[in-house]
Chains A and B, each alone.
Chain A
Amino acid sequence: MRWLDNFVGRLALSGRIGLALVAFWLLLAIFGPLLAPYEVGAVVAEDVFAPLSLAFPLGSDYLGRDMLSRVLSGTRFTAGLAFAAALSASSLGTSLALFATVSGRWIDEVVSRAMDTLISIPSKIFALVMVAAFGASVPLLLFTTALIYLPGAYRIARALAVNLNTMEYVQVARVRGEGRIYIACVEILPNMIHPILADFGLRFMFVVLLLSGMSFLGLGVQPPDADLGSLVRENISGLGEGAPAVVMPALAIAMLTIGVNLLIDSLPRAGGRNAGEP
């Protein structure tokens, strides 16, 4: 646990708050549904949009289902989907960047051009166009969000890889006669893993925000499945009476994304961002 102490010790206060929030929500996403007091789909409360109470800690939803159970399962849905999408975007982006760096100028030029085109379509617009064309299914949402955040991951990884590629030890390896794959995987990749991980955290946050935005519009995860964004949407009619069912899932998203952002920002040298501390 020494490394953990070291790691936490070097974080600023905002970073520690972020770490606590991220750890809390990740644990909830993994174990939360086990703790859920009721079945996710079961109508258990007598009132719809019930306020907070002991029996229903987060109130009840528009059908009288327990909000706590629904938020717990929605958290797993949101975090799981975002994790898979961010992981695909980051790993594919990094692989493409390594490939483009160690390959010739032409391949680099073509891949970079394609990525520049993709990054020039605002993320929500791209997602709307994809959903309009192919319908909103979970595999499509996963594919679309991974594709949307791929170019950003590629850009960061490419900038890092191009820098490392000019280092003397890489040139030594090249003179030694090592192959391209060896140079990419053994010489370059291990030295860029930290900024890539920080960037992965940001991608995760972006995907959470995009996915819940799409679900909120009714164009993301479709019922009976529900992520946190769809929970806000399906209960929006309770807004007029100030029901906790609307606010709680929205707060859950915000706590998760704020946590990630605070944590990543206080990491030493988060890749390519305007870091908060001077």
Chain B
Amino acid sequence: MNNVIVLVAKRIGAAALTLLLVSAVVFAITSLLPGDAAEEALGQGATPETVAALRTELGLDQPGHLRYLHWLGGLVTGNPGQSLANHLPVSELVASRLPKSMVLAGTTAAVSVPLALLLGVLSAMFRGGKVDRVLNLFTLSMVAVPEFLVATLAVLIFAVKLHWLSALSSPPDNPTFAQFLRVYAMPVMTLSFVIVAQMARMTRAALIDQLEQTYVEMAVLKGAGPTRVVLRHALPNAIGPIANAIALSLSYLLGGAIIVETIFNYPGIASLMVDAVTSRDMPLLQTCAMIFCAVYLSLVLIADVCAIVSNPRLKGH
């Protein structure tokens, strides 16, 4: 068991180090700007004196590494500065948007994980058969489809042709269940499409990996039926790799969310970040980027830990 703890601790350390390096990269890129934030904020008519004054106020006259440390300190203590576009604290903007994105991501996960598991287990059970081949063709195509095609087709069918749903998704404050369904149906459907395909493929691969082991052959020889072999023998041993697959697939949500929140006008953190890019609002952009990177690294870390903990070779030494 000690082995496992040491390995997990090492992975956590490595992830923390990577996040630190990532923050340096993000800061370096966003501070290499040709003009700086002070000139940008004051516009064309600014005198050199006012620019210099604002620059001192924003701390832009300090050398790069000090600015980085200052910025990192602010980020860690929950005070990442002022938004340039609307002069609100970045933390306030993020706090108002982040929960909405988490609801969207949570709902998507709740819908897509069971569906993906079902599809993955089904195609592993009937591997090589007709069901498997059709599912394979379908999932293989779905991973390669851009999110905005799924989103536009969904709008076309459910909003334009059938009039069931509205094309914009701004959730009311305390939605009833029906309102919730109407708002979330299309964004969740779009996001689920791509990650269900991804997850189902990885689940299938993990399960087939187990089905090719000798203990499964033993169970078959003993006379266990195909359903029993998969559900009782292979599946429990494939839980680690499957958890790994789920965590990795959920990290695809981050990229998908950017397109989906924008197309449905959903007020989450991803559309906040796109707005920050359009208005070149660097403090806001840096914070959003770091949140995304932190979530992404955490998901990859969880995937890693699942793989380590479930590896029987590391147990009992």
Mask: chain B, 248-272; 1 = CB below 8 Å from A; 0 = not = 0001001100110010000000000
> Which residue from B32, B258, B278 sits with its C-beta under 8 Å from A124?
B258
8 Å CB contacts to A: which residues of B139-161?
140-141, 143-149, 152-153, 155-156, 160-161
Question: Are B149 and A120 interface neighbours, CB within 8 A?
Answer: no
Interface hits, A150-167 → B, CB 8 Å: none
Asked if A124 contacts B205 (CB within 8 A), the reply is no
Interface: B311 (CB within 8 A): no
Q: Let me know if B258 and A247 touch, CB within 8 A.
A: no
Residues of B contacting A240 in the complex (Cβ-Cβ under 8 angstroms): 160, 167
A250 and B144 within 8 A (CB): no
- Contact in complex: A232, B152 (CB < 8 Å): yes
Q: Which residues of B contact A (CB under 8 A)?
A: 18-19, 21-22, 25-26, 29-30, 32-33, 127-128, 136-137, 140-141, 143-149, 152-153, 155-156, 160-161, 167, 201-202, 204-205, 208, 251, 254-255, 258-259, 262, 273-274, 276-278, 280, 282, 285, 289, 292-293, 296-297, 300
In the complex, the 5 A-B pairs of residues with the closest C-beta atoms, listed nearest first: A261-B144, A274-B205, A257-B144, A250-B149, A117-B21
**A219 pairs with B22, CB closer than 8 A:** no
Q: Report yes or no: B30 in contact with A125, Cβ–Cβ below 8 A.
A: no
A219 B292 Cβ-Cβ under 8 A: no
- Residues from chain B with a CB closer than 8 A to the CB of A216 are 146, 148, 259
Interface segment, A37-45, A60-68, A95-103, A127-135?
A127-135
Tell me, yes or no, whether A258 is within 8 Å of chain B by CB. yes
Instruction: Place the interface of chain A in its size category.
Output: 35 or more
- B141:A262 contact, CB within 8 angstroms: yes
Binds B, one of A2-10, A47-55, A187-195, A205-213: A205-213
**Given A120-B22, A232-B152, A242-B160: A125 touches B254 (CB 8 Å cut-off):** yes
A261 touching B141 by the CB < 8 A rule? yes
| A254 interface neighbour in B127, B137, B144, B300, Cβ under 8 Å | B144
From B19, B140, B146, B255, A276 is in contact (CB under 8 Å) with: B140
